[in-house]
Each structure stands twice: as C-alpha cells, then as structure tokens.
C-alpha cells in the first residue's frame, strides 16, 4: 500500500481458514504491519473465531462489548455526532501494562465518502531520527495515561451509551520510548500524542518540547499508508509497531465498525544497535 507499510490480501475467505493460511497471514502481518481483507462476510462469531486464530481477544476497559460477544466493541459515529471515537493519532491502550499485540477492525456500515483510516510505521519513524537523538531516546521511558484530555473527549459519546463500571478509572503505565518488537527484534518508536503524558522522571513541562517534535516526526507522510473502507473490509494492524488515525470527514453520516484487540506483552527496551 506504500513503501513503509500496508498490504491488501486477496482471494481469502476468513470464515474458512487453515493452519497454513493462518501462518501465511501472520508472516504477512509481521512484514507489512497493516493487512486489509476485502469483501468478508463475517458474523460476530466468525469474526471472533478468526481473531482467535491470531491471538487472545481481550476486553476494552472503558466501553462494553456486544451483549453476546464482550470482546467486540462498536466503534461508531452517528449522524448527529461531531467527534469520532479515537479520532487522534495513537496506538491502542498504551496506558495498560501489557498493551495489545494487534487490533482488528471490521467495517459494518460506512459513509458514501470519507471515514478512511491512516497508519504510520514506527520502525521507519525510529530509523528516520538522527543517531544522536536515537541514543538519547534509548535511555528513556515514558508514562502513558488514559486521562489525557484530547483522547478522553473522543470517548464521550460511547461512554454515554455503553460505559463500563470502571469507565472513570485512570490507567497509567510506563514503557520504553524505543521498544524492541517482540517478534521481529526491530526498534520501534513507542510514544503517541493521545496517551504519552511525559518522560519518566521528567516534568510535563520538560517533556513537552521533545514529545511535540516526536509526535510531528512519527506521522511524516513517507511513513504512512491510508485504508479506504468498504462494507465487509477487515483491517488487522500490529499495535506494537503502528500508529493509526481515523479521519473525521463525514459529519451527518453514520459509520459503524466492530473492533477486537488481541492480548500483547510488556514492552521491553531495544537492546540492539
């Protein structure tokens, strides 16, 4: 889909897959970071079954899932709403001690125009930094918080109709600024504007300038790809390597997606060269 990341996968029916196909999908997932499967006819059970082929589905901490499928949440924006869920560059739930390995998003209802999602490769973002700045970042950790104002605002509509009992809880976790991808071993820049509050041991004010530079750098156009949705499209992305941004350009129209996240591991610092 671009030199940095992303690929479309054709000729696959995800409602009927083999072990060999799962292995091929996993290999492509690690290579491209973002995979798009078109024209998939999956009910909730089939969607969840495919997700389980790739990992262990987990529940989202703030919003209830579907009644019979708590691991599947609705990501939606209704015609009268103006703020879209997660409408800021981010990696999902980095405020958890073990952020998700991957996210799966299945398009149920989309507007006639707009509603695309952009992705940015954070391995390429790391490689694009100077050697001097890389050396500084390798020694740092950053604190992620679920309570940053800009991202909290994007949850408000869904909390009104599907909030969990713990929805007001604040989650915070500290992670390496440069993490080592647990499967490829590659370095990944692991901060994001939605959740990263400050560097560990630094004040918010001291952190702000460097974080602002990194947030601008990590979504440069040469590190991005863009998914144009169709009903029945399923996109899977590597939450350990990829940032994403749902474009909010379809006011007055409904967009409904179903989302599953897969359990990840505790991020470890990059120890290579």
At 202, the pLDDT band (50, 70, 90 cuts) reads very high
Domain residues for the domain of 25 are 7-262
Q: In this model, does residue 244 exceed pLDDT 90? A: yes
**What are the angstrom distances between the C-alpha of 128 and each of 11, 121, 158, 251?**
35, 11, 37, 35
Residue 169 confidence (pLDDT): 82
Q: In this model, does residue 160 exceed pLDDT 70? A: no
pLDDT tens digits for range 63-86: 899 999 999 999 999 999 998 988
Q: In this model, does residue 242 exceed pLDDT 80? A: yes
DSSP 222: G
CATH number, position 107: 3.60.130.10
φ, ψ dihedrals at 152, nearest 5°:
-60, -40
Kindly give, in sequence order, each residue whose CB lies less than 8 Å from that of residue 221, ignoring residues fewer than 6 positions away.
Answer: none
Report the candidate in 238, 234, 185 with the shortest Cα–Cα distance to residue 32.
238
pLDDT tens digits for range 129-151: 999 999 999 999 999 998 886 76
86: left (phi over 0), alpha (psi -120 to 50) or beta: left
pLDDT tens digits for range 90-120: 999 999 999 999 999 999 999 999 999 999 9
Residue 21 covered by a domain: yes
Residue 84 covered by a domain: yes
Residue 272 confidence (pLDDT): 74
Report the range of poorest mean pLDDT among 11-25, 98-112, 166-180. Answer: 166-180
Residue 273 covered by a domain: no
Please name the residue ranges forming H helices in the chain. Answer: 19-32, 44-54, 122-127, 131-138, 149-162, 204-217
Residue 39 covered by a domain: yes
Residue 267 covered by a domain: no
Residue 152 confidence (pLDDT): 61
Residue 230 covered by a domain: yes
Residue 165 confidence (pLDDT): 64
Per-residue pLDDT, averaged over 32-53, amounts to: 98
Residue 273 confidence (pLDDT): 64
Q: In this model, does residue 124 exceed pLDDT 90? A: yes
Residue 1 covered by a domain: no
Residue 235 confidence (pLDDT): 98
Say how many domains are in the chain. Answer: 1
Residue 63 confidence (pLDDT): 84
Q: What is the mean pLDDT of the chain?
A: 93
Q: What percent of the chain has pLDDT over 90?
A: 86
Using CB atoms within 10 Å of the CB of residue 133, give its burial: 0 to 12 exposed, 13 to 18 middle, 19+ buried: middle
Residue 2 covered by a domain: no
Predicted TM-score (pTM) of this structure:
0.94
């Amino acid at each position: 889909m671009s030199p940095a990341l992303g690929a479309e996968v054709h000729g696959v029916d995800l409602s009927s897959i083999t072990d060999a196909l799962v292995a091929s999908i996993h290999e492509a997932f690690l290579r491209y970071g973002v995979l798009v499967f078109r024209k998939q006819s999956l009910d909730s059970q089939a969607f969840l079954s495919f997700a389980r082929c790739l990992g262990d589905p987990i529940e989202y901490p703030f919003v209830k899932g579907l009644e019979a499928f708590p691991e599947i949440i609705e990501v939606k924006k209704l015609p009268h709403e103006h703020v879209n869920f997660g409408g800021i560059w981010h990696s999902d739930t980095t405020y958890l001690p073990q952020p998700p390995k991957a996210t799966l998003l299945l398009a149920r209802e989309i507007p006639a125009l707009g509603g695309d999602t952009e992705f940015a490769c954070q391995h390429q973002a790391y490689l694009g930094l100077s050697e001097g700045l890389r050396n500084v970042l390798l020694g740092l950790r950053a604190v992620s918080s679920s309570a940053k104002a800009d991202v909290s605002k994007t949850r408000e509509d869904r909390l009104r109709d599907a909030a969990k009992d713990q929805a007001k809880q604040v989650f915070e976790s500290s992670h390496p600024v440069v993490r080592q991808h647990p499967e490829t071993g590659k370095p990944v820049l692991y901060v994001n504007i939605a959740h990263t509050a400050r560097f560990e041991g630094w004040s918010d004010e001291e952190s702000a300038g460097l974080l602002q530079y990194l947030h601008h750098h990590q979504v440069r156009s040469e590190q991005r790809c863009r998914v144009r949705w169709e009903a029945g499209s399923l996109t899977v992305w590597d939450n350990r390597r990829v940032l994403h941004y749902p474009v909010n350009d379809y006011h007055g129209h409904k967009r409904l997606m179903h989302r599953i996240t897969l359990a990840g591991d505790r991020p470890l610092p990059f120890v290579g060269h």
